[in-house]
Amino acid sequence: MKKVEAIIRGNDFDRVKNALKQIGVVPLTAYPVQGRGVQGGVPPYDLLPKMKIEIVVKDEDVEKVIGVIIRNARSGTPGDGKIFVIPVEDAIRIRTGEKGNEALY
C-alpha cells in the first residue's frame, strides 16, 4: 500500500476529485493548506493557498492515481503542485477490523 499526497491548486480540486471517482478511487482526505515552491514571482516568505489530497491506495493503483492527478491538475505553469508517494505498512477499517488492501475501498 502507498499513500499518495498531492498538493494542488484549489481550483483544480473538484476536477481531480471527480476524475478519481471515475476510476473508482472515492475515499480521500482533503484540506486547505498554504505553502510555496521555488517558483518565481512570489515574494520569498509569502504562502499561496492550495489543497492537499491524501489517498491510501493499493500498490497496483499508484501509477493510475498519479496519472489522474497530473492530467487534471497540470496547467503547465509554475505552481501546479507536487505529488509525494509514501509507503504504508498497514490499514485497518475500525468498523469491521478488515486489514490491508481489504480495508481501503
Q: What is the pLDDT of residues 7-46, one digit of tens each?
A: 999 999 999 999 999 999 999 999 999 988 877 677 777 8
d(CA 67, CA 34): 24
> What angle, rounded to 10 degrees, do the helices at 13-22 and 62-73 form?
140
Number of structural domains (the chain) is: 1
pLDDT score, position 74: 97
pLDDT score, position 43: 78
Domain that holds residue 82: 2-103
Q: What is the pLDDT of residues 91-103, one digit of tens each?
A: 999 999 999 999 9
**pTM, 2 dp:** 0.90
pLDDT (mean) for 62-66: 98
pLDDT score, position 32: 98
Measured in whole angstroms, how far is the alpha carbon of residue 34 from the centre of its chain? 15
- 35: CATH: 3.30.70.120
